[in-house]
Amino acid sequence: MQTHGVNNAMALKSSALWWLVSGDDSYRAGVQQQLTTLDRYHGIPNGMFGADEHLAGKNPSQGIELCAVVEEMFSLEQAIAILGDAALGDRLEKIAYNALPASFTDDMWAHQYDQQPNQIRCSLAERPWTTNGPESNLFGLDPNFGCCTANMHQGWPKLTSHLWMATPDQGLAAVVYAPCELNTRIRGVRLRIEEKTEYPFDENILLEIQPDIAVEFPLFLRVPGWAGAASMRVNGKKVESVRAGSFAVINRRWKPGDGVELHFPMKPALTRGYHNSVVLERGPVVYSLDISTEWRKLKSRGMTSDWEAHPGSAWNYALDTKQSAVERSSKLQGSGQDTGVFSVQGAPIRLEVKGRKLPKWREENGCAGELPQSPTRSAEALETLTLVPYGAAKLRITAFPELGGSD
């Protein structure tokens, strides 16, 4: 099982857990070493690794199993609880806010066994996967095999239960950011913290701190590694020594009504991937070209159904990275409440980019063909493309060839 994707996702917590038993500090570095190795040989844009059942390389047309997504999230939750490594929180958010919602239909009544970062068609057909069968990227009750149907339910609840953690010095740590309310006790004092935010799409987070009576404790706040210009204020006063990729610690006597404001600037950023392709990210969210989708029902299964998804618009674009991505906010009143923020209709943020069709990049065996090496060239007209959050686009292109000129 050394190459089995889910086993590798589960094993990511093993070195941290073994450090608790052995006391050998060399094991503390194990999780990051494992993640670095997976990224080097199998990393894909959604924070996961290519493993359509077994390790499959970095091609974004290869898949990753939903079981592996939820198991890696749990491994990271356990590892950060033991190690207190802020970088593990960054990875956890990237997977939770991209790979997890991407596997579900908007109503969560159907899911995929395998998802692909470059996913242009979901149909009952053979794919160039390492192991899995023709049902693997269908949306349904139990496509390919029933393990994800049984396992997927731990994803959101376990993330929720690990948003906040206690610290050994009777403090609290904000490990993952999301709208939530924490109710706990510190030094015997009842404490409520309301986290007001639209993160992972919003740059701003407000923590309203309400102890029954004033109580002293340290508050550990994770500063994401991508937030180079992060800032914090307590009751309007700036907090010093806020450093990206670490936990900022505020130790004070907290009173009812205290407020902590966090600001994590989110600017569209390019990362590189397979064949020197480009991926756009903003904060913890990856953005993808949404391909117009035609849903076709294959089979009814009582309260749910199995579905194919077929493309209704062009997908084979190369990006012009010389022109900056433009943010477009759709934060209307009630945005996302009916369909969810991880839906095309409810997504609060979109990015507009420029690109040209790449006629030589074609569909092969139901997948986007081999990703052209970047930079590449195209004589097609320059178009404006709208990118949506990765988890919202069920058919999508995430890793793009980069334009290097015109023919």
Half-sphere exposure of 41 (CA within 13 A, CB side): 10
Q: What is the pLDDT along the chain (407 residues), one digit of tens a residue?
A: 789 999 999 999 999 999 999 999 999 999 999 999 999 999 999 999 999 999 999 999 999 999 999 999 999 999 999 999 999 999 999 999 999 999 999 999 999 999 999 999 999 999 998 889 999 999 999 999 899 999 999 999 999 999 999 999 999 999 999 999 999 999 999 999 999 999 999 999 999 999 999 999 999 999 999 999 999 999 999 999 899 999 999 999 999 999 999 999 999 999 999 999 999 999 999 999 999 999 999 999 999 999 999 999 999 999 999 988 888 886 644 455 567 899 999 999 999 999 999 999 999 999 999 999 999 999 999 999 999 999 999 999 999 999 996 55
Q: What is the DSSP letter of 373?
A: P
Are 72 and 39 within 8 A, CB to CB?
no
Alpha-carbon gap, residue 31 to 2, rounded angstroms: 16
- Please tell me the predicted confidence (pLDDT) of residue 337: 58
- How far apart CA 227 and CA 229 sit, in angstroms, is 6
pLDDT confidence of residue 114: 96
Domains of the chain: 164-263 (2.60.40.1180)
- Reduced to 3 states, what is the DSSP secondary structure of residue 80? helix
Greatest CA span in the chain, whole angstroms?
71
Phi, psi dihedrals of residue 333, rounded to the nearest 5°? -60, 120
27: its two tokens: 């094991």
The pLDDT of residue 325 is 84
Helix (H, G, I), strand (E, B) or coil at 119: strand
Distance CA 65, CA 398 (A): 17
Torsion on CA atoms 287, 290, 296, 299, rounded to nearest 10:
0
| CB-CB contact of 268 with 325 (8 Å) | yes
CA distance 73 to 52: 17
Strand pairing class (349-357; 317-319): antiparallel
pTM confidence score: 0.96
